[in-house]
Chains A and B, each alone.
Chain A
Amino acid sequence: MYTIRLGSDVAEAQIDDLSDAEIDVLLEIYEALRLTPGNGRKLGPTGNMYVWDYKGISVTYVLLDPQREVAVLRVDRFPI
């Protein structure tokens, strides 16, 4: 199991802005990230940045494997 942390103040502000329904979606993403964070869409050939899209929410995060942590960088609504 991975620990999910906030890796950016921006992400924290974005979460504060989510509706209750969007928080429910975030909780579903949270469960997936705790188990298999490496299954997201990789943003670079090197490094460990990923995006996980689900039901209108995009979570961008970095995987910190030695600590078994996921640091959430952004929580965006789908732009389109």
Chain B
Amino acid sequence: MVLEVAAGFEGRGVAGRPLWGSLLDKLEWHAATGRRLGVVMTVQRHDRPHPHIERTFTAVRAALPAANVAAFDTELEAITHAPAVDLAALDDFLSGWLRIATRAAADPADWQRMHQEAEQLQSGARSAGPTLAEVLGRRGVQL
């Protein structure tokens, strides 16, 4: 798996840095740790089965919709460009993007619809709805 991670980033401007050689073993350890500790299974809105995506940088990146790959790369670059790489941040990064990739793969149409909704809101084509306080108030939760 270590070799797969390294090979997967060749040609994308990430591999080849001196830090990767020493980092990959640590990443392997963190990925394994995440698998052991990061399991939170709940039922989703549509009760769809979630596709299994391997918890590696290459697998997660490959599973992302095209619209989100650049953000993945940008954030990874920012973390790995630091003089001292924060391994906890890198682990959080991988966990976070694995969740994003899994959600997007579980219902690609909804993921795309969500992006369209965001564009409409940003362009002013539609306006946002009630406040969260109002919605929760209907449930008896006061903010």
Q: How far is the CA of A13 from the CA of B46 in the complex (A)?
A: 11
Pick the contact of A76 from B45, B122, B133, B135 — CB < 8 Å? Answer: B45
Minimum distance in angstroms from A35 CB to a CB of chain B: 14
Minimum distance in angstroms from B67 CB to a CB of chain A: 6
Are B131 and A12 in contact, CB atoms less than 8 angstroms apart? no
Q: Which residue of A lies closest to B51 (CB)?
A: A79
Q: How many B residues touch the partner, as a band?
A: 35 or more
Interface on chain B toward A: helix, strand, loop, or mixed SS?
helix
Are B114 and A60 in contact, CB atoms less than 8 angstroms apart? yes
Contact A5-B130, Cβ < 8 Å, known A44-B67, A79-B102? yes
Q: B40 interface residue, CB < 8 Å from A?
A: yes
Contact A4-B99, Cβ < 8 Å, known A10-B110, A56-B42, A80-B38? no
Are B121 and A62 in contact, CB atoms less than 8 angstroms apart? yes
Q: Which residue of A lies closest to B117 (CB)?
A: A8
Q: Which residue of B lies closest to A48 (CB)?
A: B122
Contact A43-B117, Cβ < 8 Å, known A27-B141, A78-B40? no
Q: How far is the CA of A76 from the CA of B107 in the complex (A)?
A: 12
Counting chain A CB atoms within 10 Å of each CB, which of B42, B103, B132, B143 scores highest? B132
Contact A80-B114, Cβ < 8 Å, known A6-B132, A23-B141? no
Using Cβ atoms and an 8 Å threshold, which residues of chain A touch B100? 41, 43, 51
Contact A53-B96, Cβ < 8 Å, known A17-B45, A23-B139, A73-B117? yes
The chain A residues found within 8 Å of chain B, CB to CB, are 3-10, 12-17, 23, 26-27, 30, 41-45, 47-49, 51, 53, 56, 58, 60, 62, 64, 69, 71-74, 76-80
The chain B residues found within 8 Å of chain A, CB to CB, are 38-45, 50, 67-68, 70-71, 74-75, 96-100, 102-103, 106, 110, 114-115, 117-119, 121-122, 128-133, 135-136, 139, 141, 143
New A-B pairs, 11, CB < 8 Å, besides A27-B141, A53-B96, A71-B118 = A4-B132, A5-B131, A8-B129, A9-B129, A12-B129, A14-B45, A15-B136, A47-B122, A64-B128, A73-B117, A78-B40
